[in-house]
Amino acid sequence: MATQKPQRSPAEIEDIILRKIFLVSLIDSMESDSRVVYLELTAAEILSEGNPDMFPGIDDTVVSDHANLMRKKQSPLLPLIYSNVGGGAIIDSYGGSGSSGGITCPPGFLDEFFGEGDFDSLDPIFKCLYDNLREKVVKESALGNFQQPLRALLYLVSLPVGAKSLVTHRWWMPSGSYLNGRAMEVASILGPFFHISALPDTGFFRSKPDVGEQCFSQSSSRRPADLLSSFATIKTVMNNLYDGLHEVLLCLLKKPDTRENVLEFLAAVINNNFSRAHLQIDPMTCASSGMFVNLSAVMLRLCEPFLDANLSKRDKIDPNYVFYSNRMDLKGLTALHASSEEVSAYISELNVGRSDGSTVNNVTDNRLLTSLEATGSGINSGGPPAQNVRSMLNGDKTKYPFICECFFMTARVLNLGLLKAFSDFKHLVQDMSRSEDSLATLKAMQEQAPTPQLKQDIDRLEEEIESYTREKLCYEAQILRDGDLIQRALAFCRLMVVWLVGSVGGFNLPLPSPCPMEFACMPEHFVEDAMELLMFASRIPKALDGVILDDFMNFIIMFMASPEYIRNPYLRAKMVEVLNGWMPRRSGSSATASLFEGHQLSLQYLVKNLLKLYVDIEFTGSHTQFYDKFNIRHNIAELLEYLWQVPSYRNVWRQIAKEEEKGVYLNFLNFLINDSIYLLDESLNKILELKALEAEMSNTAEWERRPAQERQERTRLFHSQENIIRIDMKLANEDVSLLAFTSEQITSPLLLPEMVERVSSMLNYFLLQLVGPQRKSLSLKDPEKYEFRPKHLLKQIVNIYVNLARGDEKNVFPAAISRDGRSYNEQLFSAAADVLIRIGEDGRIIQEFVELGAKAKAAAVEALDAENALGDIPDEFLDPIQYTLMKDPVILPSSRVTVDRPVILRHLLSDSTDPFNRSPLNPDMLISDLELKAKIEEFIRSHSTRNRDDDVLLQSTKGTIQNPTSDMQLI
């Protein structure tokens, strides 16, 4: 049997260090090495100061005191370790010393020193070293000297005793009632290393040197080359940090006796920072964005072994981890479709038949068996053999392979880290934009009526914008300009969406019904994070180069119009934003063109799903749904306009309009028209209000007499109105444009009985505003500033008129135009024709438009004659909504009210309820009232016959008078 090495006290170890390194000793002994000098006077001085713990054999009970003393001062070993690991700080110009004090470590000394001792004797030294390293970096920023401590940390954890000592350190994972996310960052050993960042942190926790002040102060006046140099430096040092921390965690994960500690540490960091997902966070209780961005980068590096192009290891990710993980509470997160009650019920179903309720059904057990049998990425080596899996499944905890744990942890870290940073950056830019708008307003006010208060406000805003600019450039330096970081994140998100699609049977349409609960219960942020990342990456040059986008494209097409799979309409709307960023004219990348023009699933389903989402988004369930829908539809309209220009998509679009004429396409047209009318009406009214404000401000004498506060408020209102007009007019132009180019080839849905009068009213209203008596009141000094282009708008409106007239085979359009009692006026057509001639519209268009006006005038005369002929119409024949003569009466099944079919169908396009009692209603539920219809037809026929007889008699009488007989002439 091998003899056990005698345990050495810390004092003995310290003496060994002094002898081997400095060739001195504080102990008089029979040392055979003549080079070692006994420092007798120094030893006496130390003893006189009450420090007997420096000497072996003097009261070993002071070991704990010795450890405390070691924590308060540097260990003599640290300079030697620095010398051994090499490499000073990269950015000495920013103040990092990076030196080891000129001390050179003898070759092999550290390996021999740490190799000789056992855990009990070396553990206090390691713990002291970890304390020292933590203190070295606790206030360091990306420009500080953190690289030697990081290398030293990596060296120490590479040693078996060093790794064990780290994870058993009482500050490896702080505990106690005070524990929160910030405490994990500040107090743990690894936390300060993860805190090193270029991103700004709040007050007390701010690191030095301040990256914003050092690199980006007064950036507007700095040379572009200086900024680029700063960007490159920050990217380099941050990637050195990421690589070093990744190596530290990987080293610990590969050791069986420390792997579990690392997973527990990561889970604790995540769990104690759950509130980072909130819009507003408390910096005193949450870790910094810098820490979580760094953690995101490190976790992505840990995922690399299973992010191969084929994603061949995705079957090792068990979805039941969401329900049964003992590390993280994921089942409480918002799910893709299932409510919290439905998630709980699903878990209960999975637990049926289990005595302890800790595991799931046999199918899941088998999947878990397969996963555990696999060795994964190399980190899983040494895992439990297959014969122990069953006992594990029946134990208190379900075990999962590292790939599974790493996947779900990385997903949460990205949500709380990188994606949260993207969100913060977006809000930062928005705040900066608002401040710039306010500054412009205040400067305009200062020019008109300068005051000391305005000057102070301007100075404050300029300082605020300077601060925003520094923060913005810090985000840009660490995140937006790090293409590798973004591409790693995209690769992980691709794994997420491919894995999710696997739970619904793969990339196939139509989707199975109902939605599988395994998909419905997955965290919503998985998809949201993927979409947000794609949106940001699309705005960064070359960020998508080399990224496999087909899986993302397939995912978006499958789910963007599937509320029964993804409940959140705003999440589905984000998918459209992603596609908008991929349009070739925007992305600047030829790779994205093939996603549309050569993509079979896209060609087959994209147009239809966009039209369906355009309709679905009318009701989002949010209190801001009325305003949100315009922005969402704006994105859809832009994408539809691009697709119309691609012949293959245009053909599909025409086919959809034909097949879905009274389905989704008619609903799409209805909401498109509704939005157009509202937006233009709102814009024109705001223009009138803006002109009134302009008149107030232009009357200088009267304006100057007003109180300063009132002038400020009126000026702010003026700029607010400007923004509203600009946005609303842009959206209105887009909607009219969409109607104009589609009506050139698709007219029949617009001429249906339930739609034609709606279209006619809209066109007449636009025409009245553009060429009617009030048109001069809409003149602006700079209409282009407000996206107001009346000449172009008039051309588009007239083209829609002409397009519909060309497709009007049943000649219903002129009559519909003339029935509009609100805006129709026969003189508008001639007035518009005069304007069209002046602005150079095509002569053939003008001629057809004038002819349409003549037909509408004739239809108006004919309708008036018919109305006079019918006389008093019985109330039972009148539609109760429009008070017009019904032609196709139907009975509403719930309220039993009889209405005209075209009228109720028009109502149902916007509202699927009975207008008289709000009960659910759809077109298939309408009951034809054949008896009433027969009565109406008989009423019309009898009055028509009577009036024909009267006409014959009248004409006969007229003939007698005009052509008298000879006898009468004689008389």
Output the DSSP codes for 399-451: ---HHHHHHHHHHHHHHHTHHHHHHHHHHHHHHHHHHHHHHHHHHHHHHHS--
Collect all residues with Cβ–Cβ distance below 8 Å to 151 and sequence separation of at least 6: 82, 85, 86, 87, 244
For residue 568, report the phi and psi dihedrals to the nearest 5 degrees: -70, 110
For the chain, percent helix, then strand, then coil, each to nearest 5? Answer: 65, 0, 30
Rounded-to-10 torsion of CA 361, 364, 365, 367 = 160
Q: Is the pTM of this model over 0.75?
A: yes
Separation of alpha carbons 324 and 326, rounded Å: 6
CB of 173 closer than 8 Å to CB of 268: yes
Q: What is the DSSP string of 887-926?
A: SSEEE-TTT--EEEHHHHHHHHTT--B-TTT--B--GGG-
pLDDT score recorded for residue 962? 41
pLDDT score recorded for residue 46? 58
Ordered by where they begin, the domains of the chain are 10-25+75-81+105-210+228-307+404-416 (no CATH), 429-481 (no CATH), 661-870 (no CATH), 875-953 (3.30.40.10)
Name the amino acid, one letter, at 957. Answer: T
Q: ∠ CA 803-664-886 to the nearest 5 degrees?
A: 75
pLDDT score recorded for residue 395? 39
pLDDT in tens, 60-72: 333 344 344 434 4
pLDDT in tens, 739-763: 999 999 999 999 998 899 999 999 9
Strands 24-25 and 37-38 turn out to be: parallel
pLDDT score recorded for residue 624? 81
Grouping H, G, I as helix, E, B as strand and the rest as coil, residue 335 is strand
Ranges in the chain, pLDDT < 50: 1-2, 48-50, 52, 54-74, 88-98, 353, 355-396, 952-954, 956-971
- Residue 21's alpha-carbon distances to 76, 79, 110, 113, in angstroms, are 10, 12, 10, 11
Grouping H, G, I as helix, E, B as strand and the rest as coil, residue 37 is strand
